[in-house]
Structure 1
Amino acid sequence: MSDVTLRDATADDAAACAAIYAHCVEHSTVTFEEVAPSAEVMAGRIAVAQEQHAWLVAERDGVVVGYAYGGPFKARAAYRFSCEVSVYLDPSARGAGLGRELYAVLLGRMESLGLRMACGGVTLPNDASVALHRALGFEPVGTYRRIGWKLGAWRDVAWFQKSLGGDGPPPSG
């Protein structure tokens, strides 16, 4: 993907990320949000993710065509070495390996931050996302059945996890 640049997101990327996400919110079940967030809300999400995790964007010819981010898996202290990761692409950027590239860089970043487990949820059916997670070494760990109602039907969410940094003790600090 020599024509794509991956970099840390800034507040200036919020409108582009919001537009990519809005398409997913309004036309798919890959997210359970039902109202697309504004660029201002997205800027806040970017800032929060970058406090202890990361938010990356993929840019082609100066245009953001995808993003991936990590955040806390859960709020309880015992989960502090685990993260939840997500990737979203503009429809024009799907199917060319960009999601895999974004996720690979993000997972490396999560590991460098001392995180030891990455988790991702996939609304079913979504063969492309399941294949992406498996290709990057995520293992299926379970499915929440009929957990969300979106676009007129109950939806299942499959959960995947990937070990980061081995099974030794967590980093000190």
Structure 2
Amino acid sequence: MADDQPEVQVRAGTEADVEALTEIYNHYVRETAITFDTVPFTPEQRLPWLRSHPVDGPHRLLVAHDADRCLGYATTGPFRPKAAYAPSVEVSVYLAPGSAGRGVGTLLYERLFEALAGEDVHRAYAGIALPNEPSVRLHTRFGFRHAGTFTEVGRKFGRYWDVAWYQKEL
């Protein structure tokens, strides 16, 4: 973080964060193809998602904040619902508008992968809707490698989008 910017803290997400996290996510729902959700959520609708990320376990939710506001969050979740996929997780980072370029995503992933180090997790996967060069750079910096691209797999804003899949050994 730059010396002139407030210190960023990272901690486990709590139910008290649901409004801020929903606001951040809804920005991506409304304004981008980064997520393929098309209808914004209410905080109440996001509570089950938040509660599915316990403090201990492979499905984590970490929140970055400074003295003023929530700057973003990183999560792990099930890669697929079938039991044999349990040692694989899908990871993602969402930053509040104006928070990109401050190292917040990097800090969140550093803490997320530190937390996963002691867990029974074999692989992490990230799906990146293209184009999204900042996300590709972030994941590559953390050792993810391109595993393949699904072409025109999602439709949003009247067009089709490709999703590149990246994987990381843990």
Q: What's the TM-score, normalizing by structure 2? A: 0.92
- In the other structure, the counterpart of 2:46 is 42
What root-mean-square deviation, in Å, do the aligned CA atoms of Structure 1 and Structure 2 show? 1.3
Q: Within 1, Cα distance between the matches of 2:83 and 2:115?
A: 21
Where in structure 2 are the equivalents of 1:27-66 lying within 5 Å?
27-50=31-54, 52=57, 53-66=59-72
Q: Within 1, Cα distance between the matches of 2:80 and 2:117?
A: 17
How far is 1:43 from its partner? 2.1
| Structure 2 contact 71–104 (Cα < 8 Å) conserved | no
Q: 2:19 aligns with which of 3, 15, 18?
A: 15
The answer as to 2:114 corresponding to 1:108 is yes
The secondary structure found in structure 2 opposite 1:17 is helix
| Structure 1 contact 65–89 (Cα < 8 Å) conserved | yes
- In the other structure, the counterpart of 1:83 is 89
Q: Within 1, Cα distance between the matches of 2:107 and 2:82?
A: 30
- In the other structure, the counterpart of 1:68 is 74
The secondary structure found in structure 2 opposite 1:35 is coil
Q: 1:130 aligns with which of 136, 152, 159?
A: 136
| Structure 1 contact 32–150 (Cα < 8 Å) conserved | yes
Q: Within 2, Cα distance between the matches of 1:5 and 1:62?
A: 11
| Structure 2 contact 124–167 (Cα < 8 Å) conserved | yes
The secondary structure found in structure 2 opposite 1:30 is coil
| Structure 2 contact 146–164 (Cα < 8 Å) conserved | yes
| Structure 1 contact 107–118 (Cα < 8 Å) conserved | no
Q: Which moved more, 1:151-160 or 1:54-63?
A: 54-63
- In the other structure, the counterpart of 1:169 is none
Q: Within 2, Cα distance between the matches of 1:83 and 1:110?
A: 10
The answer as to 2:164 corresponding to 1:147 is no
What fraction of aligned residue pairs are identical, expressed as a percent?
A: 39
Of Structure 1 and Structure 2, the greater helix share is in: 1
The secondary structure found in structure 2 opposite 1:93 is coil
